[in-house]
Amino acid sequence: MNNVVAELNKKLGKQKTSSSGKSPKIIVVCSGKGGVGKTFIASSLGITLSRQGFSTLLVDMDISGANIHTYLGVPPSLLNIRHFFEGKKSVDEIIVKSPMTKLSFIQGFWDSWNPIEISLEQSMIFFKALKTLSFDYIVLDISSGQSIANLEMLRRADEKLVITDPEPSTIERTYRLMEAYICHAIKSGATPESYQTLIQLLRDQRHGTRTEPFSLKSYINEHEGIQKNTFADINHHPLKLILNGSRSHLDQDLGHCVKSVCRKYFDLNIEYAGSIDFNNAVWQSARKREPVLVAQPFTPLAGQFMSICKNLVNAPTLRAAG
C-alpha cells in the first residue's frame, strides 16, 4: 500500500498545474442512503453546467457501483479510476470525452473480479490531483454513507451537495450523515480527550440519560480542547440539500424542515438548494441510455436543474456564459 501511495505522490508531483492558473470548483455529491438519485443528479448537473458553457468533468468515485457512464448513455471506458489508484496513469490520462460538448468524465471502477479499497490517503491524493486540472467545475459522485474518506472529501469540497428523497428512512440517514459531518469537523480540531468527552455527552443526550437542554455550539465555546471556530468554518461553506423525487408541495417543504431541524438540534446552517420532481422520464431515459436532459431539454425538470446550477454558480456568471 505504501508503495502505491508513494507512486501516486510521484505522479501528483509531475502533474501540470491548470493552464488557466485557476483551480476548478469541486462539487461533491453525496447522500446518507444509497439509491436516492445521486448519480442522476451529479450527471444532470454536469450536463447543465456544460450547456452553460462551463468546462465540466464528472467523476465517478462510487467504488461499489460505478454507473455515471450509464446516465451519460455511453459504454464503460476501459481506462478508469483504477489506473490512477494503482499508480499506472496520472489523472489527466484517465479523462474521457463524453458525447456532449464541454463535458468529460472519469470512468469509475467497474471490475468486480478484483475489488479495490481506497484509503483516505489515496482519496486525498486524488482530490489534490483533480485540483490541478483545467476545468471550471468538477462534479464528484461519491458512494453513500459516512466513511472517513467521504466526510473528508465533503469537508474539502467547494460545494457540498447532500441528496435526499422524501422517504422517512432516507431523511433519518440524511440527519445521521450531517451529524457525522459535524463530528468529523469537530474531531479534526479537538484533542482526543475533549472529543471523547463530547461524544459521551451526545450519546447520553440521545439515550435520554441527560435531560438538561444542550447546545453543541455553546458547549464548544465554553470548553477547552476544541477549536472555537468549528461552526464558523462549516457554516462558511454550508452543506446544500437537494430533495430528489418530490411528488408534492409537502415533499418540497421537507427541505425547509430539515434546514430548521439542523439549526435547532445541531446548530448547523444548511442551505436548501432546491427540489427535483419525481419524473418517469428519468428512469425511462436511463433504460434507453439517453440522458433525460438531452432527450427533453426544455422541460420543468431541466428548469429545476438550471435553478440549482444558479445557486452553485453566481447568477451573473451563468447569464454571461449562457
Ligand X SMILES: Nc1ncnc2c1ncn2[C@@H]1O[C@H](COP(=O)(O)OP(=O)(O)OP(=O)(O)O)[C@@H](O)[C@H]1O
Among 24, 32, 37, 108, binds ligand X (CB under 6 A): 37
How wide is the angle at C-alpha 302 spanned by C-alphas 245 and 248, nearest 5°? 30
Site string for ligand X, 208-247 (x = CB under 6 A): ------------------------------------xx--
What cell numbers appear for 248 in the block?
A: 408534492
**Do residues 293 and 48 touch, judged by C-beta distance below 8 A?**
yes
Is residue 62 within the footprint of ligand X (CB under 6 A)?
yes
Among 31, 39, 52, 194, binds Mg ion (CB under 5 A): 39
Query: Whose Cβ is closer to ligand X: residue 62's or residue 136's?
Result: 62
Residue environment code for 210-241, b if the CB has 16+ CB neighbours within 10 A, otherwise e: eeeeeebeeebeeeeebeeebbeebeeebbbb
Burial of 320 (0-12, 13-18, 19+ CB in 10 A): exposed
Could you tell which of Mg ion, ligand X, none binds residue 214, using a CB distance below 5 to 8 A set by kind?
A: none
Among 65, 189, 225, 238, binds ligand X (CB under 6 A): 65
Local structure of residue 77 (DSSP, 8 states):
P
Query: Whose Cβ is closer to ligand X: residue 231's or residue 272's?
Result: 272
Could you tell which of ligand X, Mg ion, none binds residue 36, using a CB distance below 5 to 8 A set by kind?
A: ligand X
Closest CA to 140 of 124, 161, 110: 161
Query: Whose Cβ is closer to ligand X: residue 34's or residue 53's?
Result: 34
Please identify, among the stretches 39-47, 125-133, 266-274, 292-300, the one whose residues bind Mg ion according to the rule CB under 5 A. Answer: 39-47
Q: Between residue 125 and residue 144, which ones bind ligand X under the rule CB under 6 A?
A: 144
Among 110, 175, 219, 278, binds ligand X (CB under 6 A): 278
**Do residues 59 and 133 touch, judged by C-beta distance below 8 A?**
no
Instruction: Return the residue nearest ligand X (CB atom).
Output: 34
- Give me the amino acid identity at 190: A
Among all chains, which residue has been given the C-alpha cell 455527552?
A: 201
d(CA 244, CA 320) in angstroms, rounded, equals 28
Residues in the chain: 322
Please identify, among the stretches 10-18, 37-45, 128-136, 266-274, the one whose residues bind ligand X according to the rule CB under 6 A. Answer: 37-45
Query: Whose Cβ is closer to ligand X: residue 14's or residue 287's?
Result: 287
What cell numbers appear for 165 in the block?
A: 428523497
Please identify, among the stretches 3-11, 96-104, 214-222, 280-288, the one whose residues bind ligand X according to the rule CB under 6 A. Answer: 280-288
What cell numbers appear for 226 in the block?
A: 476544541
Interface residue list for ligand X (CB under 6 A): 31, 34-40, 62, 65, 144, 244-245, 276, 278-279, 282-283, 286
Interface residue list for Mg ion (CB under 5 A): 38-39
